[in-house]
């Protein structure tokens, strides 16, 4: 990356030294569509890193390019709009539409600069080059990773900041600058990940703890390869339906602050007063929160049968109650579960295509990869991609 940075932004005799920061991707092991309802998410930082090589500047300018085919960008930190959403840009989850056209990748870099500036933190511009091992469009936390490496470069790679604080600043960039109504789970996992440990996060209090996986299990992510251009609108509908469930239930249950505080018995008691689709959205959130907690315990106990059951229940709930499943996700899970050594498999992420997450005995990873490539592609007509990932440390300077 050093040579490529020099090609994009030639240094002069006064240039500062080149530094590199990294941030990992993330995968949800359990807890999908629970973060924006203040629930629980069990996730892991994974070895699909995003890197930013940079040299700091003294003039407040940021110039950034990408190793991917993408237009470079430049901006002055002090020129960023202090109120970007009110200034006329409308954004949706995972997709952006603005008066200037489609979203630029560099807006995430701008958002990080805006968030740090609004927090009155001492930051400086930089010349930087982004590279990533993360496949685009597969919902593994690419935007969170880009926000985090941008924040680290703006602060200076040697500056110490707690992972929760860094995650909160990155989330603010996404919510208030990009206008994307996201929870904090992606940024938190990428910032606070720990090697060989999953991370159980309470998205309300931001309390977290690390969870060991059973010995010999690998995490394998399988991408369905399904294009999903309309997904963001559907996910906004799901958020709105969760909010409606909370509003209607709050009328009958004064003091109810979040769906994470709702228990199954209370939902059943008031279910007749809810539209069917709204009730099913709430049912998924309640059960998925319980599964996130139960999955953490099952991992610590090494209970493989319980993990298989919980993953299967989550997959069905995402498909039937939250209605973000697809025939391709079903096929991917069905094929995976037929491979000896695959302990558990389910859809993960926003859904409507996207990925599955699998817990696999180490010596079965090759068989799973070969079987998916052979059977899934033939059955669906889409080209799959399989990633046997390591669980890694969170964002920081490249050692």
> For residues 264 and 115, what is the distance between their CA atoms, to the nearest angstrom?
39
Helix/strand/coil for 256? coil
> For residues 275 and 260, what is the distance between their CA atoms, to the nearest angstrom?
19
- Verify whether residue 186 is a known catalytic residue: yes
> For residues 284 and 135, what is the distance between their CA atoms, to the nearest angstrom?
28
Nearest CA among 86, 353, 87 for reference residue 225:
353
Helix/strand/coil for 297? helix
Q: Which one of 186, 202, 303, 305 is the catalytic residue? A: 186
For the CA atoms of 106, 112, 118, 121, the dihedral, rounded to the nearest 10 degrees, stands at -130
- Beta sheet of 217-223, edge-to-edge order: 342-348, 355-361, 217-223, 385-389
Query: Do the beta carbons of residue 41 and residue 34 sit within 8 Å?
Result: yes
For the CA atoms of 319, 322, 324, 330, the dihedral, rounded to the nearest 10 degrees, stands at -10
Strand partners, 345: 358
> For residues 209 and 205, what is the distance between their CA atoms, to the nearest angstrom?
12
Neighbours of 149 (CB within 10 A): 31
> For residues 360 and 28, what is the distance between their CA atoms, to the nearest angstrom?
15
> For residues 332 and 358, what is the distance between their CA atoms, to the nearest angstrom?
10
Quote the Cα angle for 378-379-385, to 5°: 65
Task: Tell me the CB-side half-sphere exposure of residue 134, using CA atoms within 13 A.
Answer: 28
Task: List, by residue number, the catalytic residues.
Answer: 186
């Amino acid at each position: 990356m050093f040579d490529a940075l020099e090609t994009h932004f030639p240094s002069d005799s006064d240039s500062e030294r080149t530094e590199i920061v990294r941030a990992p991707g993330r995968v949800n092991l359990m807890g999908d569509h629970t973060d924006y309802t203040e629930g629980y998410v069990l996730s892991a930082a994974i070895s699909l890193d995003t890197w930013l090589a940079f040299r700091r500047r003294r003039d407040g300018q940021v110039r950034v390019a990408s190793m991917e085919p993408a237009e470079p960008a430049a901006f002055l930190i002090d020129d960023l709009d202090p109120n970007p959403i009110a200034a006329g840009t409308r954004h949706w989850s995972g997709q952006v539409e603005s008066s200037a056209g489609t979203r630029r990748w560099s807006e995430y870099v701008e958002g990080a600069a805006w968030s740090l500036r609004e927090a009155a933190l001492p930051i400086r511009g930089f010349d930087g080059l982004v590279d990533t091992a993360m496949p685009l469009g597969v919902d593994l936390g690419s935007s969170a990773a880009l926000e985090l490496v941008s924040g680290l470069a703006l602060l200076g790679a040697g500056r110490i900041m707690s992972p929760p604080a860094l995650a909160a600043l990155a989330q603010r960039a996404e919510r208030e600058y990009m206008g994307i109504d996201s929870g904090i789970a992606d940024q938190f996992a990428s910032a606070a990940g720990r090697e060989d440990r999953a991370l159980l996060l309470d998205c309300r209090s931001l309390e977290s703890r690390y969870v060991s996986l059973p010995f010999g299990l690998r995490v394998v992510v399988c991408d369905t390869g399904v294009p999903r251009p309309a997904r963001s609108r559907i996910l906004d509908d799901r958020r709105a339906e969760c909010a409606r469930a909370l509003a209607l239930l709050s009328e009958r249950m004064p003091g109810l602050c979040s769906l994470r505080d709702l228990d199954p018995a209370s939902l059943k008691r008031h279910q007749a007063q809810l539209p069917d689709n709204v009730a099913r959205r709430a049912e998924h959130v309640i059960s998925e929160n319980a599964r996130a907690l139960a999955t953490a315990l099952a991992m610590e106990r090494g209970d493989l049968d319980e993990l298989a059951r919980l993953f299967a229940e989550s997959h069905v709930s995402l498909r039937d109650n939250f209605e973000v499943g697809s025939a391709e996700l079903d096929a991917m899970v069905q094929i995976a579960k037929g491979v000896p050594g695959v302990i558990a498999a389910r859809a993960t992420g926003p859904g409507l295509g996207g990925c599955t997450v699998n817990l696999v005995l180490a010596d079965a990873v090759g068989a799973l990869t070969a079987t998916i490539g052979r059977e899934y592609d033939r059955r669906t007509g889409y080209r799959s991609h399989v990633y046997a990932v390591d669980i890694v440390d969170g964002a920081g300077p490249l050692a």
